[in-house]
Amino acid sequence: MNRKLAMVIDSAKCIDCKACVAACKQANGVARGQRRNWIKEAVPPLENGPDGNRKLGRGHFQPGACMHCDEPSCVAACPTGATFKNAADGTVVIDPRLCIGCGNCIPSCPYGARFRDTQRRIADKCDYCPERRAAGLSPACVDTCPTKARVFGDINDPDSEAAKLLAANQGRVVRVIAKQNDTKPNMYYIASTAPDGWAVQPVNPLSFDALTQVVAPLVKYAVGLSGLGVLAMLARQLVTSGTAGKDGGSHGAGQAPVPPETGSGTGKEDGHDAR
């Protein structure tokens, strides 16, 4: 069974300290003025008071980030294939080599989780801190949360903390559903603290079909050429080194090779072209 990484949120525990936001920016080098995750404040609902008058109920805070949806609209909106669903762990990933910074994916996300990095000029979002995960650590926002409002793990693994929390709250877990378009997000909320008023109707640019048919092949071709260029340089280096080795071994017995600095002035040193 494939892994399915997800985050379970109990925002009743969130105290709006924003340690998760700061930790994410620090761990991922997020540009100033931008963020991969957030905390929003829910509008307290109106309730009937004991005197029969309506009053504001208890509010709560709403941690959020990329939902890593099962049917992500951002993947469908990407004209180059830079944004894709990782079948191995369920995450939605951005390949920076293929991203052209067109911004199509930004309005296509109904949760406002994507932005254009002002420094790299490509799309960015939460990726569950893959470098930290490779080192056996949790995403920075999860590690930093002092109240453990965010719980992360493989929900297909019944022994993970996230799977246990979901199992303990059967019937009380909800997803944030986009208007007229259920992307099947993989950020789960305990029902009593579900986010309110986040999701909007995703917008796909009118030029999407044309971009997909024209831009994607060009970008992938360019990336392929770049890779071929590296291979060509490596091959040239190997051939040159091999020629140098043959030249170095052509001196007769008892005849010392001519040092490079006293050579014939051809502009070559140690078999490498000095140009």
CATH number at residue 78: 3.30.70.20
Is there a domain that residue 275 lies in? no
Closest CA to 44 of 58, 33, 55: 58
Percent of the residues in the chain that have a pLDDT greater than 70, as a whole number: 66
Residue 80: the pLDDT is 95
Percent of the residues in the chain that have a pLDDT greater than 90, as a whole number: 53
Helices (H), the chain: 19-28, 73-77, 105-108, 130-134, 140-144, 161-168, 208-248
State which residues form the domain around 115: 5-214
pLDDT in tens, 199-257: 777 776 554 555 555 544 554 554 454 444 444 454 455 444 454 444 444 333 334 34
CB 176, CB 169: distance < 8 Å: no
Lowest pLDDT segment from 48-57, 105-114, 116-125, 266-275: 266-275
In the predicted model, what is the mean pLDDT of residues 118-141?
Answer: 96
Residue 77 backbone phi and psi in degrees, to 5:
-85, -15
- pTM (two decimals): 0.70
Domains held by the chain: number: 1
Is there a domain that residue 273 lies in? no
Is there a domain that residue 252 lies in? no
Is there a domain that residue 17 lies in? yes
Is there a domain that residue 51 lies in? yes
Is there a domain that residue 11 lies in? yes
Buried-exposed string 118-149: b where 16+ CB fall within 10 A, e elsewhere = eeeebbbbbbbbeebbeeeebbbbbbbbeeeb
Is there a domain that residue 81 lies in? yes
What secondary structure does DSSP assign to 119-132, as a single string? Answer: TT-SEE-----HHH
Residue 6 burial (CB < 10 Å; 0-12/13-18/19+)?
Answer: buried
Residue 46 backbone phi and psi in degrees, to 5:
-80, 135
Is there a domain that residue 9 lies in? yes
Instruction: Give the pLDDT band of residue 150 (cuts 50, 70, 90).
Output: very high
